[in-house]
Structure 1
């Protein structure tokens, strides 16, 4: 999956909405909006970092020798 491609943006939006709703609806503290926004944002950032790491070696023509 290409970073900042159409599929990545769709998955990020879905992830943000799910994490936001889980934290906003399940929280009864006074700062529930701020917490929900920060957690959902952190989830999307973590997803993006994971995709960058996963795609880093995708087209590597010289894999490490004696890997196993």
Structure 2
């Protein structure tokens, strides 16, 4: 999946919304908005790094034999 595609942006938005709502609704702390925003942002950053790594290693067609 290309990071610059519309499909990735949709998946990133859904990831952010799910993480934000899970942390905002379930939190009892006073700063629950800032915690939920940071968690949602960190989830999208983690998704971006993982997709970049997978896209980078997909071009390498040499597979190691584990036998």
Q: TM-score scaled by structure 2? A: 0.90
Q: CA deviation at 1:46?
A: 0.1
Gaps of 5+ in 1: none
Larger helix proportion of the pair: 2
Match of 1:54 in 2: 54
For 2:19, the equivalent position in structure 1 comes to 19
CA RMSD of aligned residues (A): 1.1
Normalising to structure 1: TM-score of the pair?
0.89
How many residue pairs get matched?
65
* Structure 1 counterpart of 2:6: 6
